[in-house]
Amino acid sequence: MDIQQLISDGFAIKKYPKDAIIYEPGMSPRYVYFIKSGEVRMVTVSKDGKEFIQGVFKTGQYFGEPALIVNRKYLAYTIASKDSEIIPVAKNQFFNLVENTPGFSINLIQTLCNRLFYKSMMLEELANEKAEHRLLTIINYLLNDIETGESLKVSRQELADMTGLRVETVIREVKILSDKGLIHTEKGKIIRHF
């Protein structure tokens, strides 16, 4: 789905400053959200306040469809990680787009499959693997998205929130991975080496 197309079709752009909440658990879904610029994270929060990052969405992507499509209340918060411009597309308009935009339903299917793939991978990790293995798996997953020589712009806290571990554990285990030569670090930054 092309964001520019949405804009020329007259959909309004809404601005969310960094840390603004776009929706929260318990709300009934009314829109699908297309990101014109910025970045959004989807997190669930446990009773004692621990966050788990369910996903991160960037410019050009959309989020919020699953709850809307299965007609259930949101399970997660979505929060702007940076100042963001977002186009909320109302339910019926979204279904129109799916039906009438050539290639959109296939694109949606592929998007959903990609997310399922990621979640299956993480479920296996959380269910069966120890801290070190879990970390190596997401780190390699994240490194895939950046250029050789670049560093991960993800804090230890964020790694913790993606793996269900605690910061201290992440810090210690990242060091172990680095010592073992399984990842490369420079001044604490995790680098894509190849």
Partner DNA sequence: TTATAAATATGATATAGATCATAATTTAAC
Partner DNA sequence: GTTAAATTATGATCTATATCATATTTATAA
C-alpha span between 138 and 108 (Å, rounded): 24
Site residues (CB under 8 A) for its own copies, limited to 160-189 = 163-164
CA distances 108 to 64, 97, 117, 176, 182, Å, are 12, 11, 14, 39, 35
Cβ proximity to its own copies: between 7 and 98 the closer is 98
Cβ proximity to its own copies: between 7 and 131 the closer is 131
Site residues (CB under 8 A) for its own copies, limited to 146-165 = 163-164
Does residue 100 interact with its own copies by CB under 8 A? Answer: no
Considering CB distances under 5 to 8 angstroms, the limit depending on partner class, which of its own copies, DNA, none binds residue 155?
Answer: DNA
DSSP letter assigned to residue 151? B
Q: Which of 4, 8, 26, 46 binds its own copies (CB under 8 A)?
A: 46
What's at 108, amino acid-wise? L
Answer yes or no: are the C-beta atoms of 69 and 92 closer than 8 Å: no
Q: Partners of 184 in the beta sheet?
A: 191
Does residue 14 interact with DNA by CB under 7 A? Answer: no
Give me the torsion for CA of 178, 82, 157, 193, rounded to 10°.
Answer: -10
Considering CB distances under 5 to 8 angstroms, the limit depending on partner class, which of DNA, its own copies, none binds residue 174?
Answer: DNA
* Torsion region of 175: left, alpha or beta (phi above 0 gives left; psi -120 to 50 gives alpha): alpha
Q: Name the segment binding DNA (CB under 7 A); options: 3-11, 68-76, 85-93, 154-162.
A: 154-162
Residue in this structure with the two tokens 């230890």, named with its chain if needed: 156
Does residue 157 interact with DNA by CB under 7 A? Answer: yes
Residues interacting with its own copies, by CB under 8 A? 44, 46, 50, 52, 54, 65-67, 69-70, 72, 75-76, 98, 105-106, 108-110, 112-117, 119-124, 126-129, 163-164
